Structure 1
Amino acid sequence: MAEVAVTRPRLGFKVGRASGNAGVYVAFVILLIGLGFAAPRFFTFGNMTDVLRQAVPIAVIAFGATFVIGMRGIDLSVGSTLALTGLVTANVLVLGYPVPVACLAGLALGAFIGLVNGFLITKVGITDFIATMAIMVVSRGVVMVYTQGIPITGASDPAFRAIGQSYLAGIPVPVILTAIVFAAAYYLLYYTRFGRFVLSIGSNPDAARLVGIPTDRIKIAVYVLAGALSAFAGIMLTSRLESAMPEAGQGYELDVIAAVVIGGTGLSGGRATLFGTVVGAVLMAVVRNALNLLNVNTFWHQIVIGTIILVAVAADRFNRSRKA
């Protein structure tokens, strides 16, 4: 009987633990130097603190998006999830419940939204773009219907305010919390079987399935993680503002995708770098801050962000083609 040679499916993924697009770091340094000359106020301590605060929600959401995009997925619902979970957290506080209960309610809702996204994609068979876009619209609609466009105020519990407004050893607590989330995400992506499975699916979904990776369960878990991190960002933003804004998180999906792609995580999946995501998130915050300092009309902000995304995607495509 003739022997049959069995070839093990190839799972060629790259983790990129401390590297991204090398050009990004050069561009980032050049941008900082240029801003130092164009806007002298940029390097003041107060403005640097504002930049870090602006980067926090984008960075936290982008950590989850790094898993999603590294898995060759997309999640357009992150901004609406932030708004809806922030609304629920603030409303629970206003009703008189303790801060831990309010925060857990927001996190649970974010995880549930991620679960719905994952279920629609894996079990119903809707593409990730359409599924998450639908959830984005529905979530934003719920926020607007409930609030009628009016902010929910009264989330002024001292313990809750401390999440987004306090300092520890001179460092804003949101920045410290973001660092903790980064460390946890870093360990999960690079030192656990779950992280390897995520990148394996992004590299070659069919091969991952053939070698026994539970692709559907991993995908659902990734979207649950992304939803929970969006909720965490919403809680920190609500704490900082002491209110839930109906328009909170609008456009965040663009900033998040830009931060992840600029950082070096490929849209084609199988490659992820969380350190690059941090750089990308800070870069996006710096760009928005610079546009404000230079008094650029807000209508131009989205044009600039969109151009950055196009350049980042084009650079990623060029790098992959050159390596191929």
Structure 2
Amino acid sequence: MNQTKIANNTEAKREIQIGQNWKEWAVEHKQILSIFGILIAITFSFAVLTDSFLTSNNALNLIMQLAPNLIVAVAMTFVITTGGIDLSVGSILALASALTAVLLSAGFATPVVLLLVIMAGILMGSINGYIVAYHAIPPLIVTLAAMLYVRGLALLITGGYSVAIASDSGLLTVGIGTFLGIPVPAILAILIMVIGIIALRHTRYGTYVTGIGANEEAVRRSGVNTKTVKLFTYMFSGGAAALAGLIIASRLGSGSSNIGLMFELDIIAAVVLGGTALFGGAGTIIGSLIGVTIIGVINNGLTLMQVSPYVIQIVEGIVLLIAVIVNIRVFGRKRM
């Protein structure tokens, strides 16, 4: 009898502990849970408003569209978590797209093109990171300038025209191929996301990134080379944007210097909406995934409803504004 009573008490305590753990987890992740609820509500709304939203073809199309955004959003999460920002990712994406088509047209092998394009993105990111980290120039100014001159480079090498990619090019697999029935872009996006989650939460680098955003001077005094950490973060951002440009060029079958306009704002909006602190010190890859999906679903749903693209741009601007306001209310304004 006593043993039964003890067992019942133990089970009750275990259930109470589990309940407390769930409550603590819910409080800690309240912003992610709230935006996930918003995603569900938006998805349900479009499912009711248009018959084609929940079709398999539209789901596949949405996945293909979101993959490049998610790849760049993962890298942008690291950048914003350090207290920085990267406005050049759209231009680097365009440069990568243009380089891909031009190099293939020049007869370069697919593996060489992949390597050169990714290296070009990393180079652009390293220039941003070096100036931000080693010359203490505000990242807003540095990456705004890069947004202009990198786009200029893309226009220069293409002459402002789209450059076609041969239909038999092996590179097309990157954008439209599948592996075990899963689109290759989705596999790449998931891989980058998993790497990002592990790096941000379970490595020293991720700890340094978060620490720099919260209190860079304290991290520096603890013996960490904060300049190198920031440099690597911007290199990651440039490389991710280049990979996204490769995927888009492969999917469209052409490279263009005119793609990626306003792309950086969509990414920043998604990351901030997802719960990464706009002024640094807190970042979440899962939140960025949800943020990217929300913006993608809104864009996709309104397009299916044949809403004017001008109205869609207005909606995206409002979403960005709301995301910034909520983010500042949740995390507070960073003290200078």
Q: Do they fold alike, i.e. is TM over 0.5?
A: yes
Partner residue in 1 for 2:55: 44
Pick aligned residue for 2:234 from 208, 215, 223: 223
Partner residue in 2 for 1:171: 182
Partner residue in 2 for 1:257: 268
How far 1:19 sits from its partner (Å)?
A: 6.9
Pick aligned residue for 1:276 from 269, 283, 287: 287
Matched length: 307
Instruction: Give the partner amino acid of 2:313.
Output: Q
After TM superposition, where is structure 1 displaced by more than 6 Å over at least 4 residues in a row?
16-19
SS at match of 1:194: helix
How far 1:116 sits from its partner (Å)?
A: 0.3
SS at match of 2:170: helix
1:41-100 residue CA offsets vs partner (Å, 9 max, x unmatched) = 000000011111111111100010000001110000000000101211221111111111
Pick aligned residue for 1:88 from 65, 85, 99: 99
In 2, Cα distance between equivalents of 1:152 and 1:20: 43
How far 1:145 sits from its partner (Å)?
A: 2.7
In 2, Cα distance between equivalents of 1:237 and 1:222: 23
2:223 matches 1:199: no
In 2, Cα distance between equivalents of 1:31 and 1:80: 30
In 2, Cα distance between equivalents of 1:181 and 1:320: 26
In 2, Cα distance between equivalents of 1:319 and 1:272: 13
Partner residue in 2 for 1:137: 148
In 2, Cα distance between equivalents of 1:49 and 1:251: 24
Partner residue in 2 for 1:9: none
Q: TM-score when scaled to structure 2?
A: 0.88
How far 1:299 sits from its partner (Å)?
A: 1.3
Pick aligned residue for 1:57 from 68, 78, 81: 68
Structure 1: which 5+ residue stretches go unaligned? 1-15
Checking the alignment, whether the CA contact within 8 Å between 2:102 and 2:158 is kept in structure 1 is no
Checking the alignment, whether the CA contact within 8 Å between 2:299 and 2:312 is kept in structure 1 is yes
Partner residue in 2 for 1:11: none
SS at match of 1:89: helix
Please tell me the root mean square deviation across aligned C-alpha atoms, in Å.
1.7
| Closer, same or farther: CA 17–242 of 1 in aligned 2, 3 Å | farther
Partner residue in 2 for 1:315: 326
How far 1:21 sits from its partner (Å)?
A: 3.3
In 1, Cα distance between equivalents of 2:197 and 2:222: 25
Instruction: Give the partner amino acid of 1:239.
Output: S
How far 1:158 sits from its partner (Å)?
A: 3.7
Checking the alignment, whether the CA contact within 8 Å between 1:17 and 1:274 is kept in structure 2 is no
**Identity across aligned pairs (percent)?**
34
Checking the alignment, whether the CA contact within 8 Å between 1:18 and 1:275 is kept in structure 2 is no
2:308 matches 1:297: yes
Partner residue in 2 for 1:209: 220
Structure 2: which 5+ residue stretches go unaligned? 1-26
Report 1 or 2 for greater relative contact order, CA contacts < 8 Å, sequence distance ≥ 6: 1
Partner residue in 1 for 2:254: 243
Partner residue in 1 for 2:138: 127
Partner residue in 1 for 2:88: 77
| Bigger radius of gyration among the two | 2
Pick aligned residue for 1:109 from 115, 120, 125: 120
Q: TM-score when scaled to structure 1?
A: 0.91
How far 1:22 sits from its partner (Å)?
A: 2.6
